[in-house]
A and B are shown apart, each in its own frame.
Chain A
Amino acid sequence: MTSLTRRRFVFYLDTLLLVVFLFLLAPRSTGLTVHEWLGIALALPLLVHLLLAWSWIATASRRLVSPVRTRDTVNAVLNAALFVSAAVVVVSGLVISRVALPFLGMDTIDDRVWRGMHNRWTTLMMLSVSAHVAMNWRWIVNTARRYLARSESRA
């Protein structure tokens, strides 16, 4: 398995995550049923994304304890914010589920407070995703260019 193959897989995966996330931000485009199931289905690609980034997570965690640069601390905090906000959004979404979890036989309560939490933390998650994309922008552009250049050379 070449480095480019892994890189291309990660690029496809991350693109999928971003596109699905954009649809999750717009439940009026999908309806509540698709919104809930899409949110649940996102768990697996999200897990794969985190596992693929594990070495970075481990390094960033170590640097948080013994920072080399201020940027390392800032980036680690931003990514932690993304994880926490995503966790809050996912958990609160499951708690207030109207379609998916009742379909699976679980009783849920559409609690006003948890709904408010879901909505507020979605905004924070969106900002965290923006920072995450910004942080990795150079990798995104370089991979897209390398992949597109490779596709054109094959054509």
Chain B
Amino acid sequence: MNVSLAPTWRAAIARTLLLVAALAVVAGGMYVIDGPPSAVRAVRQNEIARFAPTPGRGLTQFLGETALLVFATGVARLGLKIRL
């Protein structure tokens, strides 16, 4: 299967760099607005333990988020009439 990402390699690289530049602009804005991460504001909890997966909580969260996304998509399509 041959799927072309861009007319030429140069175009693909240029477009990638443009996307990275856009990402950098957003990142720069984040640093300006909220400042760099600081040890003073560090979270002391064990996040790895806190997010340790369990079947019950994991499935509940996954199904809940999926349902939310489906609902929001329905509202966007049927309610707000969002379409191409």
Binding site for B on A (CB under 8 A): 1, 5-6, 9, 22-23, 25-35, 47-48, 50-52, 54, 71, 74-75, 78, 83-84, 87-88, 90-92, 95-96, 98-99, 108-115, 117, 126-127, 129-131, 133-139
Contact = CB atoms under 8 A, between A and B. Distances in A.
A52 B3 contact: yes
Contact of B37 (A34, A98, A109): A109
B17 to A, nearest CB: 11
Interface in B1-57: 1-6, 12, 15-16, 19, 22-23, 26-27, 30, 34-35, 37-39, 41-43, 47-48, 50-54, 57
State the main secondary structure of chain B at its contact with A: helix
Nearest to A109: B37
29 contacts: A1-B3, A6-B3, A9-B3, A25-B61, A25-B62, A25-B69, A27-B51, A27-B61, A28-B58, A30-B53, A31-B51, A47-B19, A51-B15, A83-B22, A87-B22, A91-B23, A95-B37, A98-B48, A110-B42, A110-B47, A112-B41, A126-B65, A126-B68, A129-B69, A131-B72, A133-B76, A134-B76, A138-B83, A138-B84
A54 B29 CA distance: 24
A51 B5 contact: yes
Given A22-B66, A137-B77, 7 more contacts: A28-B53, A29-B58, A75-B82, A91-B26, A131-B72, A134-B83, A139-B84
Contacts of B50: 32
B16 A51 contact: yes
B53 to A, nearest CB: 4
